[in-house]
Amino acid sequence: MGNRQPAVDNQVNSLPEFYLGKKVLVTGHTGFKGGWLTIWLKLMGAEVTGFGLPPETQPNLFTAAEVGDGMVSTFGDIRDLASVRKAFLQQNPDIVIHNAAQALVRRSYREPVETYATNVMGTVHVLEAARTTPSVRSVVVVTSDKCYENHEWARGYEEGDAMGGHDPYSSSKGAAELVTAAYRRSFCSGDGAAAIASARAGNVIGGGDWSEDRLIPDMVRGISSNTPIVIRRPEAVRPWQYVLEPLSGYLLLGQKLYQDGGRYAQAWNFGPSVDDSIPVVDIAARVCAIWGKGDLRIQPDPNAPHETTHLRLNCAKSSQYLGWCQRLRLAQALEWTVDWYRAFYEGSSLSPRAMTERQIHAYMQASAS
């Protein structure tokens, strides 16, 4: 991106008008981020189709927040090109947000073949279906901050830094980035071609995540069952951010690609401010303080598989050229996250769906101020 474009203000407020009536295909709508994204899109009046595997955990956001209501929800596997094509042909989407993935680092050590098949070939299948579906104007491929070759730098990674990844998950996301760039260069220059961008976000927190081996879900399981919470990598620094922050970036990107594809068809970081990149142990202590309970056991595991210690993102480009910026500081993100789970476990009169919608409205209001 050249230097000619001026800095722009936060543009999240433009989303409802843009997405009203748009046909959006979300892969991975049965997961954590995909569930929030789907509910947000429906609130804005988009016509949403979802494609993902049935939810794996119990509880899960898809069931708890009735994500599948009022949409075409398909259970299918992105490793199967024919099924992916069918979902595209059924809806003829304007915009695709490809969010489905095997998203867990530790699981990728146990299941490397499945991880690469899903994250690399799955991305090929989604891009291939998008390429051959004339209605598609914009495609956002969700990868990860872990796509970068990690040098344990203190500085934030920038979009031009090299792709890499030590473990199967991280390298599968680096590879998905390379696939995305190759599809863009090879197939997306002519008239009517879809514009393709990739989005790299940090460690996301928010209500409704019950994945295995993630800090907040592990804590929620411990707190809700009064069992100890074991912290294995207390010193690891991660860029923590509230779930709607990267989702607002994906939505903005989908809009910009649709309206002015060529300029935005590239890679974008969506991470928190540097102050919000803090160690796991500090997050854990703050969650316990907000909830008012939680039995933390710090037990570093010398035999744990390799995971990076330092990981930060530089998001100057997204802020300057997309008008994207972080709205919630970490303290507020943690409070909203705990509020969501407390409502779920402590019998609030608000249903998980209502709680999710309430937080989306509050986030939009925070973006307006």
**Which residues contribute to the site for ligand NAD (CB under 6 A)?**
28, 30-34, 52-53, 77-79, 99-103, 118, 122, 142, 144, 201, 203-204, 211
Nearer to ligand NAD, 102 or 326 (CB): 102
Residues in the chain: 369
Cβ 191 to ligand NAD shortest distance, Å: 30
Cβ 326 to ligand NAD shortest distance, Å: 15
Burial class (CB in 10 A: 0-12, 13-18, 19+), 274: middle
Helix residue ranges per DSSP H, the chain: 15-19, 32-43, 61-64, 81-91, 105-110, 112-116, 122-131, 168-187, 215-225, 244-264, 280-291, 316-317, 330-345, 352-368
Cβ 57 to ligand NAD shortest distance, Å: 8
The C-alpha atoms of residue 87 and residue 69 are separated, in whole angstroms, by 17
Segment (H or E) for 95? strand 95-98
Cβ 14 to ligand NAD shortest distance, Å: 23
Tokens 């002519």 correspond to what residue?
190
> Cβ-closest residue to ligand NAD?
31
The C-alpha atoms of residue 150 and residue 308 are separated, in whole angstroms, by 7
Cβ 187 to ligand NAD shortest distance, Å: 22
Nearer to ligand NAD, 107 or 263 (CB): 107
Nearer to ligand NAD, 64 or 78 (CB): 78
Burial class (CB in 10 A: 0-12, 13-18, 19+), 20: exposed
Nearer to ligand NAD, 49 or 118 (CB): 118
Which two tokens mark 172? 């599968």
Nearer to ligand NAD, 90 or 365 (CB): 90
